[in-house]
Amino acid sequence: MRAALLFLLTLLCLGCQQPVRSQESLPEPPPQRVEPPAGDVGDQIQRSRQTAITRAVEVVTPAVVSVNVIEVQRLRYRDPFEGFFNDPVFDYFFGQRRPYYVERPVQSLGSGFIISPDGYLVTNDHVAGNATEITVAFPDGRTLPARLVGTDPATDIALLKIDTDEPLPYLTFAEDPPIVGEWVIALGNPFGLFEAADPTVTVGVVSATNRDLQSNRQGRIYRDMIQTDAAINRGNSGGPLVNALGEVIGVNTAIYSESGGSIGIGFAVPAAKVRRIVEEVRTNGAVDRSYYTGLYVVNMTDRIARALGMTQRRGLFVRDVDPDSPAAQAGILPYDVILSIEGEAINSSDDYVARIYDFRPGDRVSVRLLRDGEERTVTLQIGRSRG
């Protein structure tokens, strides 16, 4: 009986071990290559890569160019003996030396975009406004000379012209104003990385509209700007900011940065303003800013506000009005307070100058006034400067 049990246990052990030996002896299967889905599935994935952004970039890219500029800069020559010759004793005997200046050509790069098939293109005034020689490079590798038609330094817009018989790809301006939060695409040539290649593309949203920036030393007035977080760097200046339909909603112009690189706060001149500037420059070669109102204004102070019986300081104080001037004909009087022009609040002389800059001689604008504690509206027709 004991021998029979031992025999049965031996058989059971052999049975349990056999699968393990056979499993260990089987070779490992070779690695399988994963093939991309074929047919309809592959087509669906390929189509999913084509978004509104990629389609807009494909349409816009041929009309975006690199603007290569040569301008002459006037630099003061630094004489190594300047410290010696500036000695008061030397000046006493030989007279003070006049500063010596030298001129040298300097090359710089920016961006631009074609706006008509006959070769008109837009860029920034700070890119091409002082150019003596301009060459435009297309994404397909072509380079063509361009000439400066005219500029508007106040808005930092310049209009160039390529003289060619061949129709060129071009972009159109959006008719509708941008919507805060909508996707936008900035195209250009950042840092001059590519002299003849596809432009660099960055994507973001409209962060805000109607942003006003402080006027700089060049006399530029950046008002009603579009703010975007699409990366804009040096070299992008003058390039287009487009919506998902490929329409130009602005011209990339400025960034807010302490380092000079993008931190997600960029600004573009809105398309409506650019279109008006371009039309005027194309017709007249410049923007007529010889406006005249006959108003003499000063910033409102607490003392003036109290003297006028105002409960809070607001508006712009009219100190005087020229007789027979547009302001006098509109019925504006000394000691009036200008509250708004065309619905936009005016609270400083800077506000006033910047707002008037948006108009041309002959334009009629609505001015909201405060007089003797009562508000009223008059129509002011902008005149032309007497000078």
Q: What is the CATH number of the domain that holds 70?
A: 2.40.10.10
In a domain, 264, yes or no: yes
Q: What's the mean pLDDT in 183-192?
A: 83
For residue 295, the one-letter residue type is L
Residues 156 and 74 in one domain: yes
Token digits of residue 299: 């910033």
With 90 as the cut, is the pLDDT of residue 288 above it? no
Catalytic-labelled residue, pool 125, 156, 224, 351: 156
Residues 254 and 297 in one domain: no
In a domain, 30, yes or no: no
Residues 196 and 279 in one domain: yes
In a domain, 50, yes or no: no
How does residue 263 score in pLDDT terms, banded at 50, 70 and 90? low
pLDDT at 231: 85
126 in catalytic set: yes
Residues 204 and 250 in one domain: yes
3-state helix, strand, coil in the chain (%, to 5): 25, 35, 40
Q: What's the mean pLDDT in 128-154?
A: 91
Residues 321 and 353 in one domain: yes
Residues 138 and 197 in one domain: no
Q: What's the mean pLDDT in 113-128?
A: 95
pLDDT at 23: 46
How does residue 22 score in pLDDT terms, banded at 50, 70 and 90? very low
In the listed set 284, 313, 334, which residue is the last one of a domain according to the structure?
Answer: 284
Catalytic-labelled residue, pool 66, 111, 125, 126: 126
In the listed set 248, 266, 284, which residue is the last one of a domain according to the structure?
Answer: 284
With 60 as the cut, is the pLDDT of residue 217 above it? no
With 70 as the cut, is the pLDDT of residue 265 above it? yes
Residues 363 and 380 in one domain: yes
**Of 68-72, 227-231, 244-248, which range is least confident?**
68-72
pTM of the model: 0.73
pLDDT at 148: 96
385 in catalytic set: no
Catalytic-labelled residue, pool 237, 336, 340, 351: 237
Number of domains in the chain: 3
pLDDT at 21: 46
In a domain, 28, yes or no: no
Residues 70 and 119 in one domain: yes
In the listed set 251, 284, 317, which residue is the last one of a domain according to the structure?
Answer: 284
What is the DSSP secondary-structure string of 7-66? Answer: HHHHHHHHHHHHHHHHHHHSPPPPPPP-PPPPTHHHHHHHHHH--HHHHHHHHHGGGEEE
Q: Answer positive or negative: Cα dihedral of 180, 198, 145, 260.
A: positive
With 50 as the cut, is the pLDDT of residue 307 above it? yes
| Rounded-to-integer distance, Cα 113 and Cα 121, Å | 5
Which one is predicted more confidently, 109 or 145?
145
Residues 213 and 147 in one domain: no
Token digits of residue 275: 């279109």
Q: pLDDT (tens digit, 9 = 90+) per residue, 247-258? A: 999 999 987 765
In a domain, 169, yes or no: no
In a domain, 351, yes or no: yes
Average pLDDT, the chain: 83
Residues with Cβ within 8 Å of 292's Cβ and at least 6 positions away in sequence, in order, are 325, 326, 361, 382, 383, 384, 385, 386
* Closest to 269 measured CA to CA, from 120, 159, 381, 130: 159
Residues 280 and 187 in one domain: yes
324 in catalytic set: no
In a domain, 342, yes or no: yes
Q: What's the mean pLDDT in 308-323?
A: 93
Residues 275 and 295 in one domain: no
Residues 241 and 214 in one domain: yes
In eight-state DSSP terms, residue 330 is H
- Report the percent of the chain where pLDDT is more than 90: 53
CATH number of the domain to which 305 belongs: 2.30.42.10
Can you give the residue range of the structural domain that contains 203? 183-284
Token digits of residue 334: 């000394």
In a domain, 16, yes or no: no
Count CB atoms within 10 A of the CB of residue 5. Answer: 9
Contacts by residues 45-54 (CB-CB < 8 Å, ≥ 24 positions apart): 52/183, 52/244, 52/245, 53/183, 53/185, 53/203, 53/244
